[in-house]
Chains A and B, each alone.
Chain A
Amino acid sequence: MKCDVCENEATVFLTQIINGQMTTVNLCEACSKAKGVTEETGFGLAEAFLSPSHRADSDMMEIVCNACGFTASQLKKIGRMGCPECYAAFRDGLDGLLRNMHKGTRHVGKRPSHLSVITPQLLPRQRNTVVAEAPPPPPVPAASPPPLAPDIAKLRAELDLAVSEERYEDAARLKSEIESLQPKASK
């Protein structure tokens, strides 16, 4: 079959259903890239989160990010995360997704020189059971997110942890960060 745009052999076949109207597009590799249809963001994610293995154990369980309230369904829909902590919340299936998208699954490039950084793995995860017939989450993400857990409270918790683990450099940094936030809050 020939590509709908140029004369090359089509290798990408796209079927889209919008409002019950089905359209089929046949594209060669170059044209599909040029049109951006092979952007993994939409498809790869859908695949990763709808893979049979995942579906089997989920029976309508909805994973939710504790930090920002972002849900797996929203992720599937928009192909983007809600906040940095989402990477920990939605880590299942992430490796496969990243493997399709990138050269590897492990970062080997630049690192902040002082590792004053979060390790999202520390954050607990939450699974909310959603009834099978539950209505889909509101389509407009901006309307639904609950407010973030107060920044300062979270930093305090991290500070406590840092102290208990005798990571004093981190603790000092967290302390100054909390202090830098406080005048802002009272402004």
Chain B
Amino acid sequence: MMRFATLIKNPADWMKGAGPHSDVVMTSRVRLARNLRGYPFPGFSQERQRIELLERARPVVEELPEMRDGYSEDYTDLSKIRKQVLVERHLVSREHAARSSGCAVVVDRKQSISIMINEEDHFRIQGIRPGLNLTSAFEVVDRVDTELEGLLPYAFDPKLGYLTACPTNLGTGMRASVMLHLPALVLTEQINPVIKAIGKIGLAVRGLYGEGTEALGNLFQISNQHTLGEAEPEIIAQIEKVIEGVVRSEVTARAKLKEDHQTMLRDQIGRAFAILRYAHILTSKEALNLLSMLRLGADLDLVGNCDRSLIDMLLLEIQPAHLQLNAARELSPEERDSMRAELTRARLQSIDGPGSFPTNQSNPGGTTSTPNDE
């Protein structure tokens, strides 16, 4: 089995790789909610029942072909900071991280599949891919789910489908969600009508870390709300179609900004870079919003020598738990703000910054963490 340190040292597949529309779509995720019959749902079960289910199910999950030699941890053995790091990496949900006894997570080596045991449902099987690629994310979880159903007795009803703790997940038990970076739609004030239109067709729009969170860094999560009455491929096709429309609007807005508001755009990106490159105190919110501008600049070739993946890694590294893990101790918010600034200054050293220079340099950024072969 993989150790926590090894898991964290290696960027996940989806952090390094690029997928379709990577300039706008950060990730595609699909999760399936599954339960075993004969056990109450985790929210209504006693600790010993949760532990019993965990002891029965975890070895089975660990032995699935996809999950072998992955990372598997019982929550009682996991510190608060480590759990939060998993949340920041989108490997577990905030709700799951808040739980302890009777809960565990199993992650595959490539960090593209994670299986939460005893979340709101007995199993939450999640697949994550870079860019707009829900179909591929679904194929991964579908395969794992099919293997698991042969080994454990699922709670399934022919009429209602997969039985879940919350009736909102009934049927397919599937939530497909896409993380979008939409700075141009925000800057041009087109984002509200877009969100409204998406809401009208039965999709949900949320912030960076799911339900009830703010849309920091111009990052938005769009996911399906209906899980019953439609088959999985239909749901996915519908979301992908909607997302493609949003991507087109964002790309058009970016082109328009570059053409009609070149000076304003360069100013915003220049200011973002200057603060990120030289500040000594950076709050999480400020950093996310400025990095969003820098990412936009990199995508529009307005920032020299700036690799998008460097920014995406930095978006993770500056999160509170990642900073504390790096420092190997708990940090006060003030300490975090100063360490965040220090880290950001160091990472941006290799970037030439925005200016009136030719943008044909192809030398990729050099200060990303060196690849680790364990």
A80 to B167, CA, bound (A): 7
Q: Does A22 belong to the interface (CB within 8 Å)? A: no
Q: Does A177 belong to the interface (CB within 8 Å)? A: yes
Instruction: Find the residue from A34, A109, A151, A184 having the highest chain B CB count within 10 A.
Output: A109
Q: Which residues of B contact A40 (CB under 8 A)?
A: 168
Q: Which residues of B contact A87 (CB under 8 A)?
A: 157, 160, 163, 170
Q: Does A21 belong to the interface (CB within 8 Å)? A: no
Question: B229 touching A102 by the CB < 8 A rule?
Answer: yes
Q: Does B110 belong to the interface (CB within 8 Å)? A: no
Q: Which residues of A contact B357 (CB under 8 A)?
A: none
Q: Could you tell me the distance in whole angstroms from the C-beta of A65 to the nearest C-beta in chain B? A: 9
Task: Known contacts A41-B166, A102-B171; decide if A151 and B38 are in contact (CB<8 Å).
Answer: yes
Question: A113 touching B146 by the CB < 8 A rule?
Answer: yes
> Would you give the 0/1 interface string for B190-208, flagging 1 where the beta carbon is closer than 8 Å to chain A?
0010011001101011100
Q: Which residues of A contact B154 (CB under 8 A)?
A: 112, 116-117
Q: Which residues of B contact A94 (CB under 8 A)?
A: 167
Task: Known contacts A35-B212, A87-B163, A107-B160; decide if A82 and B229 are in contact (CB<8 Å).
Answer: no
Q: For residue A108, which residue of chain B has the nearest CB?
A: B231
A-B contact count (CB 8 A): 172
A78 to B120, CA, bound (A): 12
A78 to B168, CA, bound (A): 13
Q: Which residues of B contact A72 (CB under 8 A)?
A: none
Contact of A117 among B155, B170, B195 (CB under 8 A): B155
Q: Does B69 belong to the interface (CB within 8 Å)? A: no
Question: A112 touching B149 by the CB < 8 A rule?
Answer: yes
Q: Does B19 belong to the interface (CB within 8 Å)? A: no
Q: Could you tell me the distance in whole angstroms from the C-beta of B170 to the nearest C-beta in chain A? A: 7
A108 to B56, CA, bound (A): 30
A40 to B226, CA, bound (A): 11
Question: B44 touching A83 by the CB < 8 A rule?
Answer: yes
Q: Does B348 belong to the interface (CB within 8 Å)? A: no
Please report the total number of A residues contacting B with Cβ < 8 Å.
58
Q: Could you tell me the distance in whole angstroms from the C-beta of A113 to the nearest C-beta in chain B? A: 7
> Would you give the 0/1 interface string for B39-83, flagging 1 where the beta carbon is closer than 8 Å to chain A?
111011110010010011000000000000000000000000000
Question: B37 touching A103 by the CB < 8 A rule?
Answer: no
Question: A34 touching B195 by the CB < 8 A rule?
Answer: yes
Q: Could you tell me the distance in whole angstroms from the C-beta of B11 to the nearest C-beta in chain A? A: 31
Question: Which of A52-60, A128-136, A142-150, A161-169 faces chain B?
Answer: A142-150
Task: Known contacts A81-B41, A145-B45, A155-B38; decide if A112 and B156 are in contact (CB<8 Å).
Answer: yes
Q: Does A101 belong to the interface (CB within 8 Å)? A: yes
A104 to B145, CA, bound (A): 23
Q: For residue A85, which residue of chain B has the nearest CB?
A: B37
A122 to B129, CA, bound (A): 41
Q: Which residues of A contact B364 (CB under 8 A)?
A: none
A39 to B169, CA, bound (A): 12
A44 to B161, CA, bound (A): 20
Q: Which residues of A contact B174 (CB under 8 A)?
A: 109
Question: B196 touching A154 by the CB < 8 A rule?
Answer: no
Q: Which residues of A contact B38 (CB under 8 A)?
A: 148, 151, 154-155
Q: Which residues of A contact B227 (CB under 8 A)?
A: 102
A45 to B56, CA, bound (A): 33
Question: A81 touching B228 by the CB < 8 A rule?
Answer: no
Task: Known contacts A35-B212, A142-B44; decide if A84 and B226 are in contact (CB<8 Å).
Answer: no
Task: Known contacts A142-B44, A145-B40; decide if A108 and B166 are in contact (CB<8 Å).
Answer: no
Q: Which residues of A contact B192 (CB under 8 A)?
A: 6, 8, 30
Interfacial residues, chain B to chain A (CB-CB below 8 A): 35, 37-41, 43-46, 49, 52, 55-56, 120, 142, 145-146, 149-150, 153-168, 170-172, 174, 192, 195-196, 199-200, 202, 204-206, 211-212, 226-232
| Cross-chain pairs A/B with CB under 8 angstroms, 9 sampled | A8-B196, A41-B168, A68-B40, A83-B44, A102-B170, A107-B158, A107-B159, A107-B229, A117-B156
Given A104-B230, A119-B157, A121-B157, 20 extra CB contacts under 8 A: A33-B205, A34-B206, A79-B167, A80-B43, A80-B166, A80-B167, A83-B39, A84-B35, A84-B163, A102-B226, A105-B229, A106-B228, A109-B174, A114-B150, A117-B154, A117-B155, A141-B43, A151-B38, A177-B153, A184-B56
Interfacial residues, chain A to chain B (CB-CB below 8 A): 6, 8, 29-30, 33-36, 39-41, 45, 68, 70, 74, 78-85, 87, 94, 97-98, 101-121, 141-142, 145, 147-148, 151, 154-155, 177, 184
A-B interface, 5 closest residue pairs, ranked by CB to CB distance from nearest: A104-B229, A107-B161, A84-B155, A103-B229, A117-B156
